[in-house]
């Protein structure tokens, strides 16, 4: 038995391993088909909708391509199942507007997975759930910024193409220039490492941590907090899908004027200013940058060690961005 998935970056992906097939069909994974990867980007960046499910499939596929163990492929496939609706927007609901780290999903991952049906599937195939949930076992899957890991590689390819920073063929060129050496992701030479790093830098500057993303995170967070406060939704609803939550909260639009305002903001229909001297919300946004390794004269070299300009970029971009937002409808 096998399943074929058509991926927008890698083309045909065939899944044959029984444990992976069963996990892909599980409720925990299928829910991710209804969870946007970024939050609620479409009104702010039209044409860029993508789901946590497709990203999870891409991560699993890349790990298989590069010879990762079945355990690491499983870990890659399930790495995002603990994301709430609207992904990282949850940090702006639970942590008083601060998304400087965007770490709620990471912190809740083990507990969420263990309370789901995933352990039973994994143990059915004589695999250890505790081993799979320990990221130290899987350096290809997970590393701290600014190192490369499969998570960053897939979403940078996927979103680079969606946002028009690279073409599909350029994404595949980067992929073909990647190698695994001593359980680390390594580019074949300095030139391709720098080109990839520049693409990632552009994505961070224009989309991941720019002011429009701050507006999106803050407005979605405010909308969800209002829905929780008014008991239109419960905390359990945050682990359904984006559309289910929208339907529940928006059923109150006709009678809730505050909700109407928040919904209009969330859909990018209200002008805003970013001014540290006149604002209603100080919003922090996580910033991302990579500092890839590459091969040089038979040895591994880090881009920042051979490029002083890049060292400065990495230093600056690892710091969260802060914005001071005020909407024109503020009373």
Q: How far apart are the first and last CA of the chain?
A: 60
Report percent pLDDT > 70 for the chain.
96
Pairing of strands 293-296, 299-302: antiparallel
CA distance 231 to 301: 54
Residues forming beta bridges with residue 186, ordered by sequence position: 179, 293
C-alpha–C-alpha distance, residues 305 and 310, integer Å: 8
What is d(CA 60, CA 185) in angstroms, rounded to the nearest whole number? Answer: 15
Round the average pLDDT of the chain to a whole number and report it. Answer: 94
Q: Would you state the structure tokens that stand for residue 18, as one six-digit string? A: 């029984």
HSE of 253 in the Cβ direction (CA atoms, 13 Å)? 12
| DSSP state, residue 36 | B
Q: What is the pLDDT of residue 108?
A: 85
pTM of this prediction? 0.95
| Side-chain half-sphere CA neighbours of 193 within 13 A | 25
**pLDDT of 95:** 67
Domains of the chain: 3-210+287-321 (1.10.3210.10)
- At 101 the pLDDT is 53
Confidence check: pLDDT of 144 > 80:
yes
Q: What is the DSSP letter of 320?
A: P
Whether the pLDDT of residue 104 is over 80: the answer is no
pLDDT at res. 1: 83
Between 93 and 331, name the one with better pLDDT.
93
E strands, the chain, in order: 3-7, 11-15, 98-99, 178-181, 184-187, 272-274, 281-285, 293-296, 299-302, 321-327
Question: Quick one: pLDDT at residue 31?
Answer: 98
Q: What is the mean pLDDT of residues 211-225?
A: 96
- Distances in Å between the Cα of 221 and the Cα atoms of 7, 54, 168 are 30, 24, 33
239 by DSSP, 3-state: which?
Answer: helix
DSSP string, 38-102: SSS-TTTSTT---BHHHHHHHHHHHHHHTT--HHHHHHHHTTTTT--TTGGGGHHHHSTTEESS-
Whole-angstrom distance, CA of residue 48 vs CA of residue 93: 23
Alpha-carbon gap, residue 235 to 168, rounded angstroms: 39
The Cα–Cα gap between 301 and 295 comes to 6
273-324 residue pLDDT tens: 999 999 999 999 999 999 999 999 889 999 999 999 999 999 999 999 999 9
**Is residue 99 predicted with pLDDT exceeding 80?**
no
pLDDT for 266 beyond 90: yes
Q: For 102, left (φ over 0), alpha (ψ -120 to 50), or beta?
A: left
pLDDT given at position 38: 87
Overall average pLDDT of the 202-207 stretch? 96
Chain segment 4-34, per-residue pLDDT in tens: 999 999 999 999 999 999 999 999 999 999 9
């Amino acid at each position: 038995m096998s399943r074929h998935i058509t991926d927008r970056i890698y083309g045909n992906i065939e899944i044959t391993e029984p444990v992976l097939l069963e996990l892909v069909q599980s409720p925990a994974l299928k829910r991710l088909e209804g969870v946007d990867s970024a939050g609620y980007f479409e009104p702010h960046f039209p044409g860029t909708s993508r789901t946590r499910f497709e990203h999870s499939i891409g991560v699993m596929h890349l790990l298989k391509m590069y010879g990762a163990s079945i355990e690491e492929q499983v870990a890659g496939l399930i790495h995002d199942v603990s994301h709430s609706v609207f992904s990282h927007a949850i940090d702006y609901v639970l942590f008083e507007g601060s998304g400087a780290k965007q770490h709620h999903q990471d912190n809740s991952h083990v507990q969420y997975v263990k309370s789901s049906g995933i352990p039973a599937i994994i143990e059915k195939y004589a695999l250890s759930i505790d081993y799979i949930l320990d990221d130290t076992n899987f350096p290809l899957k997970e590393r701290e910024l600014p190192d490369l890991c499969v998570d960053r590689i897939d979403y940078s390819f996927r979103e680079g193409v969606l946002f028009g920073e690279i073409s599909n063929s350029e994404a595949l060129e980067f992929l073909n220039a990647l190698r695994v050496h001593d359980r680390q992701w390594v580019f074949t030479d300095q030139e391709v490492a720098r080109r990839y790093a520049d693409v990632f830098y552009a994505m961070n500057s224009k989309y991941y941590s720019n002011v429009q993303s701050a507006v999106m995170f803050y407005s979605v967070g405010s909308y969800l907090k209002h829905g929780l406060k008014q008991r239109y939704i419960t905390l359990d609803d945050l682990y359904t899908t984006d559309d289910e939550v929208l339907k529940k909260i928006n059923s109150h639009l006709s009678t809730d004027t505050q909700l109407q305002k928040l919904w209009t903001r969330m859909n990018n229909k209200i002008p805003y200013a970013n001014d540290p001297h006149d604002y209603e919300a100080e919003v922090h946004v996580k910033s991302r940058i990579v500092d890839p390794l590459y091969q040089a004269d038979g040895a591994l070299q880090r881009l920042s060690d051979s490029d002083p300009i890049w060292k400065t970029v990495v230093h600056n971009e690892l710091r969260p961005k802060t914005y001071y937002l005020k909407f024109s409808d503020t009373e």
